[in-house]
Structure 1
Amino acid sequence: MKYLVIGLCGLAALVLVSLLIGAVTVSPDDLFFTQSEKARLILFSSRVPRTISLVLAGASMAIAGSIMQMLSRNRFVEPGTSGTIESAIFGLLLVTLVAPGLPVFLKMLVSVATALLGTALFLAVLERAPLRSPLLVPLVGLMLGGVINAAATFIAYRFDVLQSLVGWSTGDFSMVLRGRYELLWVSFVAAVAAYAIADRFTLAGLGQDISSNLGVNYRRTLVVGLGIVALVTASVVATVGAVPFVGLVVPNVVSMMIGDNVRRAVPWTALLGAVFVLGCDIVGRTIIRPYEIPLGSIVGVLGSAIFLLLLKRAESRYG
């Protein structure tokens, strides 16, 4: 409990920093003493929506990664290493070309469907071609994602929508404003649903035979889990673009801290996911201020470095 309180205090501190810094600094004096109208407009129209979206995206993507790792029984699987993100982007591309006038929510549902299909394809490949080393599993996912991304790039180039494809592929919160981030609350609902059935994911992580003997419908749990992952991934990609490696790094850290009980781990996973994404965004906003580096670039660099460290650690363990 003590460490959870410390984590919440750290999150609160990062939230405060996120609200105050940016191209234009907003100070508490501007808000509470001089009551600057410009400062209030910046705060409530931009900074508050941006901070909320960072927390929602970080927490939900971390939980999605945790679910994928339990269902695949591999610590190196997450939406960015299984083709899920690329599949979600591919769905957005197709629906933009075929029905550009659809509401954003309906476009997201199409993206959910393609993300679900891509993730199911990844798991089907693993099931039909068992790999001796768990280190090869994320490489299969990265190759699958590369194939899907190549197809999406070809189509986007052919129909002159490469700019949109790049936007979906790079997580960027700089354009988040009031009225343009609310779709992320869908990912929050999905994360709450994941917590509600967390015990089933823990049992499903033991394998089909064991979980079935313990009274869990393995296939149904698998479908629900993949649905939650697809819903979270699609809502984040449709709103702010791809946020890679959060679902890989954070669940591994939480697992080292408290083990693999999903119900116990979900609050920690959500907290650390929000802290990680908020921290990376603050770094991106301060390095070349008043300009900023997109969050996807910062998370990609840090996440890939940690990913390599985790692979090296696992290599020494598995020989």
Structure 2
Amino acid sequence: MGALIGVLLAALATMSVFIGVSDVSPFALVEGDATATFLLAASRIPRTVAVILVGASLGIAGLIMQMLVRNRFVEPGTTGVSEFATFGMLVTMIFWPGMAVVGKMGVAALFGLIGTWVFLQVVKAVPVRQLVLVPLVGIMLGGVVGSVTTFLAYRLDLLQSLGQWSQGSFATVMQGRYEFVWIAGAMVVVAWFAADRFSVIGMGEEFATNLGLDYRRVVAIGMVVIAVITAAVLVTAGMIPFLGLVVLNIVSLVIGDNVRRSIPWVAGLGAVFVLACDIVARVVRFPYEIPLSVIVGVVGAALFLWLLLRRRSRAR
């Protein structure tokens, strides 16, 4: 299975590099076409690398979120974290419109961290007996925050500016506009080193404490990783919903819930999934592009409903 993911990743990455309106074919590169070479280095390769990093990092963010909440139906897009980060972007537009992108990412990460904390507190306060209700609580929380964000943006005539951050797409990604997503890649490495701790806290606070683990510290690390990944992806490509939900449940069905064992699978399959959706978004209405968030949202929502129905049928 791992070899298959590797082959798919290599094949899709190669396809992604050569798909586009301008001629960047292998023949043009062999002939020494300067324009093709420039486009390859400045646009096609950065876009493909960004897609891979976003898919891998969002999958890992979802994995950590599931360990924190102990629920396989949650990820940043179903817990309100993405909406909180988007609200942070709106705050920078209102109070610091000239702020550099790195500053916007920092503010978005801070609001994403707050959103993660709020969701965890809501889940603790609300007695939820059914696992499928936990993501619904998160979706409602995200809906409230998203509504407030949209209202403020409408009142301040910032809807169009906010739209470029809230709609997931790699159409504008090029050299100089994707480097922040490497920070999300660095968070994947952090998750790898803390994988065993995340596995333990996934068994509950009491169990982790009995094993001598600092539960709050590990949860804090997980919250920071989730917030930074969400913010880095937001400033690079916008919001991409349901990604963690799709990838994590597929991996869980194949190899189980061990975090350290799951990380390379989740990262690889996440990259493959986003690459495939990005290619579909670019070729369905060629030479125009459909926003990636539309493709991922349709697939992710369909799988989410299937998982809910599957859980309900098992309960019967």
3-state secondary structure, aligned to 1:291? coil
Aligned equivalent of 2:196:
199
Aligned equivalent of 2:139:
142
Q: Deviations over 1:270-314 (max 9, x none)?
A: 000000000000001111111111111110111111111111111
Q: Which runs of 5+ in 1 are unaligned?
A: none
Equivalent position amino acid for 1:184 in 2: V
Aligned equivalent of 1:64:
61
Aligned equivalent of 2:4:
6
Cα shift at 1:77: 0.5
Cα shift at 1:15: 0.3
Aligned equivalent of 1:21:
19
Cα shift at 1:228: 0.3
Aligned equivalent of 1:129:
126
Alpha-carbon distance between aligned partners in 2 of 1:25 and 1:61, rounded to the nearest angstrom: 31
Alpha-carbon distance between aligned partners in 2 of 1:14 and 1:47, rounded to the nearest angstrom: 13
Q: 1:87 aligns with which of 84, 87, 91?
A: 84
**Count of matched residue positions in the alignment of Structure 1 and Structure 2:** 316
Alpha-carbon distance between aligned partners in 1 of 2:85 and 2:20, rounded to the nearest angstrom: 30
Alpha-carbon distance between aligned partners in 1 of 2:315 and 2:45, rounded to the nearest angstrom: 45
3-state secondary structure, aligned to 1:182? coil
Equivalent position amino acid for 1:155 in 2: L
The percentage of aligned residue pairs carrying the same residue is 51
Most deviating of 52-61 and 17-26: 17-26
Matches within 5 A, 1:217-228: 217-228=214-225
Equivalent position amino acid for 1:316 in 2: S
Most deviating of 37-46 and 277-286: 37-46
Alpha-carbon distance between aligned partners in 1 of 2:82 and 2:64, rounded to the nearest angstrom: 15
Equivalent position amino acid for 2:36 in 1: A
Q: 2:165 aligns with which of 165, 168, 171?
A: 168
Aligned equivalent of 1:304:
301
Most deviating of 134-143 and 22-31: 22-31
Cα shift at 1:26: 2.0
Equivalent position amino acid for 2:152 in 1: I
Greater than 2 Å deviation, 4+ residue runs: none
Equivalent position amino acid for 1:28 in 2: P
3-state secondary structure, aligned to 2:170? coil
Q: Which runs of 5+ in 2 are unaligned?
A: none
Alpha-carbon distance between aligned partners in 1 of 2:73 and 2:161, rounded to the nearest angstrom: 29
Matches within 5 A, 1:276-291: 276-291=273-288
Equivalent position amino acid for 1:311 in 2: L
Equivalent position amino acid for 1:176 in 2: V
Q: Deviations over 1:235-285 (max 9, x none)?
A: 101111001111111011111111111000000000000000000000011
Q: Deviations over 1:50-82 (max 9, x none)?
A: 000000000000000010011100111100000
**CA-based RMSD:** 0.9
Matches within 5 A, 1:221-300: 221-300=218-297
